[in-house]
Amino acid sequence: MKYISTRGQAPALSFEDVVLTGLAPDGGLYVPETLPHFSQEEIASWSALSYEELAFKIMAPFVDGAVPDAELKTIIAESYSKFRHQAIAPLVQTGHNEWVLELFQGPTLAFKDFALQFLGHLLDHLLEKRNQKVVVMGATSGDTGSAAIEGCRNCDNIDTFILHPHNRVSDVQRRQMTTVIADNVHNIALEGNFDDCQNMVKASFGDQSFLPEGRQLVAVNSINWARIMAQIVYYFYAGLALGSPARPVSFSVPTGNFGDIFAGYLAKRMGLPIDQLVIGTNSNDILHRCLSDNDHSKHQLVHTLSPSMDIMVSSNFERMLFDLYDRDGDAIRNLMEDFKSGSMNLDESALSKARELFSSYKLDDDETLATINELFETCEYLVDPHTAIGIRAARATRRRQDIPMICLATAHPAKFPEAVRKAGQETDPQLPHHMNDLFEREERFEVLPQDLSAVQSFMQQRIRS
């Protein structure tokens, strides 16, 4: 299988090369040239598979032999061996035909573990095979950073640099990153917001001349195709658990960077019978505005109680646009040029397709807190603010009560105690046992100005020879 750029001016790459490349040289994102498609009979035959066994079935066609099957199975097994629940992605019922898919059972208590545990083990395998050393550089609005660090901390061939917006992630999220004391792990607190961090990363990928000879940057945020690929699996897993493919299912996803719900869209195209895909946003509602009003313009970023979604530039939306515009790279390149100036508008055909595929809903902080409280009052189930947004969006937009609605729980509530307290809970949610000393651990991070040369100089001085 080959991978092509959404902007149409970069050479097609193999799976191995696309994992190690990140952004395409033309500024686009890589997507598979073709998607595998599974028949209803084949999907039905997977109903008894474990999460790891299902992951192999879903991912093997994308890998296409770049990693031998036996080694791919080992990588998958190692990736999910640290998850705290045997089901890996358990379902909890919260209402009539309404389910929460708990994606926070991994080592850093967030859905990012599903992709980044896998990506870390995959990178280790590929780099060892190639006798190559790389530099991982990533931006995080909260959860990606800790999951990336956890996935790469034991990789001898990787130096890891993670940028987070200074004082704009929760204390738990920050400490999960900054208490990993290792020679190959470096945390940068950037004086800016998440989009500023992401712009630094994109600029560095665009010009890597600051790196030592023989090194290259590797992406761990959701521009890396391997992350999207790994996230497709839990859509199939949840659907099978609730009777698919014999009956359809729907999903609601709290959405910032569009990678998680894009994986759901791909699952639908690959054969999973999905009736409805719901986008839930906080006050940073560019995706909701795009779908409802064809207004894809940058507004001032608002800092909310759901900080992992405090994003105004949803990078993965470009992958969706590529399909909405019938894979026309020139059209996407022109759209992205428009967006650089602050806004873009979809043509009527693309907008109509998007509205057929997705529903959307926006919540402010007060509505988010009310949802946390309501859920606890009605079924004694405590959720974090991001998950609350997904649940309220599902309830507000749901079309059919006879189809199971699966709401993705993207983080453990203990990562956001401030929001839980504001929702009316008298005690903070408890961190799991393996993390109960988090606030006693030593922290290490560097506060840097919003200056690309300062960030790159910091990296230069710390990349190991």
Catalytic residues, which ones?
Answer: 112
DSSP 283: S
Q: 289-313 burial, b if ≥16 CB within 10 A, otherwise e? A: bbbeebbbeeeebebbbbbbbbbbb
Six-digit token string for 183: 């020679």
Instruction: Round to whole Å and give the CA distance between 396 and 388.
Output: 12
| Amino acid at position 393, single letter | A
Do 210 and 456 form a contact (C-beta atoms < 8 A)?
A: yes
**E strand segments, 66-212:** 91-95, 98-102, 134-139, 158-165, 185-190
Furthest CA-CA distance within the chain: 59
HSE-CB at 12 with a 13 A cutoff on CA atoms is 7
Structure tokens given for 458: 């910091």
Token pair of 397, please?
Answer: 């937009």
| Angle formed by the axes of helices 259-269 and 225-241, nearest 10° | 60
Question: In 3-state terms, what secondary structure has residue 91?
Answer: strand
The label of the residue with tokens 């983080």 reads: 411
DSSP 119-130: HHHHHHHHHHHH
Q: How far apart are CA 318 and CA 32, in angstroms?
A: 14
Measured from the Cβ of residue 81, the count of other Cβ atoms closer than 10 Å reads: 11
Beta-carbon contacts of 103 under 8 Å, excluding residues fewer than 6 positions away, are 89, 110, 111, 113, 114, 234, 408, 409, 410
Query: What does residue 85 show for φ and ψ, rounded to 5 degrees?
Result: -120, 135
- 393, 279 Cβ separation under 8 angstroms: yes
Radius of gyration of the chain measured on its C-alpha atoms: 21
What is the C-alpha separation between 458 and 456, in angstroms, rounded? 5
Q: SS3 for 397-455, per residue?
A: HCCCCCCCEEEEECECHHHCHHHHHHCCCCCCCCCCHHHCCHHHCCCCCEEECCCHHHH
Q: Is 453 in contact with 207 (CB distance < 8 Å)?
A: no
